[in-house]
Amino acid sequence: MIQPTPIPTHWYNITADLPVPPPPHLHPGTREPVTPEDLAALFPSELIAQEAATEQYIEIPEPIREAYATWRPAPLIRAYEFERALGTPARIYVKYEGVSPVGSHKTNTAVAQAYYNSIDGVTKLTTETGAGQWGSALAFACAKFDIELDVWQVAASYRTKPYRRHLIETYGAKVHPSPSPLTETGRKLLAEDPDTPGSLGIAVSEAIEIAASEPNTRYALGSVLNHVVLHQTVIGQEAVEQLRNAGEENADIVFGCAGGGSNLAGLAFPFIREVLHGRAKTRVIAVEPAACPSITQGEYRYDHGDLAGFTPLLKMHTLGQDFIPDPIHAGGLRYHGMAPMLSHTVELGYVTGQAIDQREAFAAGVLFARTQGIVPAPEAAHAIAAAAEYARGLTKPEVIVIGLSGHGQLDLPAYQAYLDGDLEATS
Amino acid sequence: MIQPTPIPTHWYNITADLPVPPPPHLHPGTREPVTPEDLAALFPSELIAQEAATEQYIEIPEPIREAYATWRPAPLIRAYEFERALGTPARIYVKYEGVSPVGSHKTNTAVAQAYYNSIDGVTKLTTETGAGQWGSALAFACAKFDIELDVWQVAASYRTKPYRRHLIETYGAKVHPSPSPLTETGRKLLAEDPDTPGSLGIAVSEAIEIAASEPNTRYALGSVLNHVVLHQTVIGQEAVEQLRNAGEENADIVFGCAGGGSNLAGLAFPFIREVLHGRAKTRVIAVEPAACPSITQGEYRYDHGDLAGFTPLLKMHTLGQDFIPDPIHAGGLRYHGMAPMLSHTVELGYVTGQAIDQREAFAAGVLFARTQGIVPAPEAAHAIAAAAEYARGLTKPEVIVIGLSGHGQLDLPAYQAYLDGDLEATS
């Protein structure tokens, strides 16, 4: 067993260490850098401050650390049997976030966002969710900090993937299929097509519409933004320390899946910190699905985070705000853009993108389950597949770290479809 | 955060410390104490030895400890927010087994049983499963130790609860609905009623029938027997140490759910060890469902572990081998008997039974989820309900330990039914 480290006391802000500051977000109307006032209708003051923070470390308030203590520090596991199955000389370590109450890394930012909203007197939050990872994480956090929560879930998922909806409701939050008759955006779309499957972009627009129109209500986003990435750095800080407890000086290479980017950035930025300070030469691979390849196929430019264009303009790798990815099972990777902070580190050369097709991801997920026991979330299986391919090609030992962002117990029908040969390569 | 302890190096055998030895198992034909030879067709030699072991500690072989290291030590969590919600002066600690790869404590014995079978040259195992907790745990373990596995799953669960079946198949094992056309028992029952929902007793009989008839094939049981209880004592050994790391001398009272009894016994026996050695006065409550109250309503006598009478006669609290409990959602508690070792400690006065109705269990489960974040397995929710009732009644501080045997993420439709008011008190 690798000795655990203490829960980090601070979040790590890579902005302070980068040679070039990240480009600012722009106001969607004026195309000028957004001001804190511009964001005040959507986010509480402390999160707005974190969005533009320049200090290297930001202290984690005690109530958030108490919440983290329910599942953190998350384990770093040496994947001996997976190594043997691959026939690799590599030493492979897996940082496992599936031990959180909802089974994914999303809780790391959910409890922080709920806390900061609660101390600002916010009594209700709104958000969107696809398959439900983020919706359930925020529902857990809102129950903890006594905040009402309304979640707009993409209608196709609402109808076909009920488990995470049940989870959200068990935590006491409300779930609406999106588009819904509760918003202008939703009513317009339902009038055009009452059976529309919806999209994440539509759900964001509905959640923002309600947040902007009701008193003491704010909106919460589960990835992409700087403050979200910041909160996720507890993952990488723990992993850097745990790796040393395991007797390794440094990682040679880090693999993580990247949808909105916060999972990979949270794992990788503390490793890149070691690189920036000359203490390591770790490479970082952002693994994205072939069906939604924003880093490897997208443009690096200003774009909106949502379909309707309500969000600030973000400088990021994007496939375009109206890009609709194939319905792959890794719902958490079906996002047209990429966290601006992660895109920035790609541009600076610290992170490289790699696209993996869905069947390759499930094949790696099944091998990982059969050797290590943990069934990975389909999102994380993409990172495992890329790491496995790399490890198989090695002729001398290297230290590989894989981000295992969550378990796949609520994605088992997708595994069954893969085993039954019913899965398309990209959909 | 409570500092974790090392993974135990030994299992604790309470037989060595009890003032009276437990009654032996009897041969179903002769009613004489079973011999190792009687059991050789079903179990590997080391497990047969453990079934009758008298030494106080039995060393855990290194390959099993390596497997345990994937998820052990399991966390002990101080449930601050649950305490506040209950308005109790108690300090409540929760020992959480849901971090295992399949989400329950069943893996603790599954990896041990698969390992001992593998070193005996066994190449195939058979077993039964209800909702699938045990079947998925053994499938994980068999994948780890390269053993083929066939699982007979109660037909009603096979049809209506597909997720754990998918999990079993993801690990590479085969699942058959029980009754199946593969056995004489099954063919006979299917001829009478092709649509029969099946039962655990039937599934046991089918698994034993195949194990006894195929070469290098043995049978594995997920609860009840002494060797299963023994393996589960890693839970309680860790909890006793972790409680001390948290600054508590001892637990005043321990609550755990009891179906076949191995979860509760595994948690409680190391606490009872402290009582037997005069170091504590801890009481232990075995919480069973009102729909299947073997301790509180059953008789203490010799009975079979299965419907067909293939198993040895076991001295235990039983509702009768042909008792069919209502279809409550806590499938893991729907067993007519109780682990003989646990029944023996009940008779000696170290453990007390308590029955909880299903709606009360779900109410406690929802409160626990909304305060602590973890959605408990419906089985574990019974223990939480009993502990909550006790804690609410306290006027001065006590230390309460609750066994949280698994998470309820694959039981979310049952939570939804509870929230929607569609749940019967006992079915």
Amino acid A425: pLDDT: 54
Pair A301, A387 in one domain: yes
Nearest to A343 by CA among A311, A310, A296: A296
Nearest CA in chain A to B95: A70
Pair A383, A235 in one domain: yes
| Residue A155 lies in domain | 43-59+106-222
- Radius of gyration over alpha carbons of chain B, in Å? 20
Min Cα–Cα distance to chain A from B411, Å: 9
Q: What would the pLDDT profile of B17-73 be if each residue is shown by its tens digit? A: 999 999 999 998 999 999 999 999 899 999 999 999 999 999 999 999 989 988 999
Pair A309, A383 in one domain: yes
Residue A265 has pLDDT above 90, yes or no: yes
Min Cα–Cα distance to chain A from B12, Å: 21
Among B189, B222, B255, where does a domain finish? B222
- Asked if A373 lies within 8 A of B140 by C-beta distance, the reply is yes
Pair B94, B130 in one domain: no
C-alpha distances in angstroms, A255 versus A109, A283, A383?
A: 21, 9, 6
- CB nearest to B166's CB, from A66, A166, A416: A416
Min Cα–Cα distance to chain A from B140, Å: 6
Q: How confident is the model at residue A427 (pLDDT cuts 50, 70, 90)?
A: very low
Pair A283, A158 in one domain: no
Amino acid B23: pLDDT: 97
∠ CA(A113), CA(A147), CA(B369), 5° rounding?
95
Pair A234, A325 in one domain: yes
Nearest to A109 by CA among A260, A336, A316, A266: A266
Residues of B in contact with A73 (CB under 8 A): 1
Residues of A in contact with B4 (CB under 8 A): 4
Q: How confident is the model at residue A1 (pLDDT cuts 50, 70, 90)?
A: low
Contact A285, A352 (CB under 8 A): yes
B250 exposure class (CB count in 10 Å sphere: 0-12, 13-18, 19+) = middle
- Asked if A373 lies within 8 A of B144 by C-beta distance, the reply is yes
- Asked if B162 lies within 8 A of A413 by C-beta distance, the reply is yes
Percent of chain A with pLDDT over 90: 86
- Asked if B373 lies within 8 A of A7 by C-beta distance, the reply is no
Contact B345, B14 (CB under 8 A): yes
Nearest CA in chain B to A167: B412
Number of domains in chain A: 2
- Asked if A77 lies within 8 A of B66 by C-beta distance, the reply is no
- Asked if A163 lies within 8 A of B371 by C-beta distance, the reply is no
Pair A251, A383 in one domain: yes
Could you say which DSSP state residue B238 is in? H
Pair B84, B207 in one domain: no
Residues of A in contact with B372 (CB under 8 A): 70, 101
Among B192, B222, B252, where does a domain finish? B222
* Amino acid, res. B228: V
Pair A118, A130 in one domain: yes
How many CB atoms within 10 Å of residue A38?
A: 18
Pair B111, B93 in one domain: no
- CB nearest to A144's CB, from B81, B412, B413: B81
Average pLDDT over residues A375-382: 97
Higher pLDDT, A202 or A3: A202
Nearest CA in chain A to B100: A374
Q: Scan for tokens 């609550």, then name that residue.
A: B255
Nearest CA in chain A to B415: A170
B26 lies in some domain: no
Mean pLDDT by 10 residues, chain B (427 residues): 81 98 95 94 95 97 93 93 97 96 97 98 96 95 97 91 94 97 94 89 92 95 96 98 96 96 97 98 97 95 88 94 80 88 98 97 97 95 98 98 96 95 67
Determine the Cα–Cα distance for residues B192 and A257; give it in Å rounded to an integer.
Answer: 53
Among A191, A222, A253, where does a domain finish? A222
- Asked if A80 lies within 8 A of B66 by C-beta distance, the reply is yes
Q: What would the pLDDT profile of B122-152 be if each residue is shown by its tens digit? A: 999 999 998 899 999 999 999 999 999 999 9
DSSP character string of B76-136: EEE-HHHHHHHT-S-EEEEEE-TTSTTSBTTHHHHHHHHHHHHHTT--EEEEEESSSHHHH
Could you say which DSSP state residue B26 is in? B
Amino acid B425: pLDDT: 54
C-alpha distances in angstroms, B138 versus A223, B144, B157?
A: 37, 10, 17
- Asked if B167 lies within 8 A of A412 by C-beta distance, the reply is yes
A37 lies in some domain: no
∠ CA(A157), CA(A341), CA(A128), 5° rounding?
20
Residues of B in contact with A366 (CB under 8 A): 170
Strands A174-178 and A148-154: parallel
Contact B318, B298 (CB under 8 A): yes
Pair A326, A397 in one domain: yes
Determine the Cα–Cα distance for residues A99 and A87; give it in Å rounded to an integer.
Answer: 28
Amino acid A325: pLDDT: 79
Helix and strand element counts for chain B (H, E): 17, 14
- Asked if A6 lies within 8 A of B4 by C-beta distance, the reply is no
- CB nearest to A369's CB, from B1, B170, B410: B170
C-alpha distances in angstroms, A65 versus A88, B80, B85, B304?
A: 38, 13, 20, 50
Percent of chain B with pLDDT over 70: 98
A330 lies in some domain: yes
Averaged pLDDT of chain A: 94
Residues of A in contact with B107 (CB under 8 A): 373
B320 lies in some domain: yes
Determine the Cα–Cα distance for residues A402 and A380; give it in Å rounded to an integer.
Answer: 9
Average pLDDT over residues A237-264: 96
C-alpha distances in angstroms, B6 versus A244, B74, B90, B268?
A: 18, 10, 27, 19
Min Cα–Cα distance to chain A from B77, Å: 6
Amino acid B321: pLDDT: 84
Q: What would the pLDDT profile of A154-167 be if each residue is shown by its tens digit? A: 998 898 889 999 99
A4 lies in some domain: no
Residues of B in contact with A99 (CB under 8 A): 99
What is the token pair recorded at B78?
Answer: 């101080």
Query: Which own/partner pairs from B299-302 qualify as long-range (CB within 8 Å, at least 24 positions apart)?
Result: B300/B343, B300/B346, B300/B347, B302/B26, B302/B31
B401 lies in some domain: yes
Pair B139, B244 in one domain: no
What is the token pair recorded at B87?
Answer: 């308005």
A214 lies in some domain: yes
A23 lies in some domain: no
Residues of A in contact with B163 (CB under 8 A): 163, 409-410, 412-413
Q: Which CATH number fits the domain that encloses residue A87?
A: 3.40.50.1100
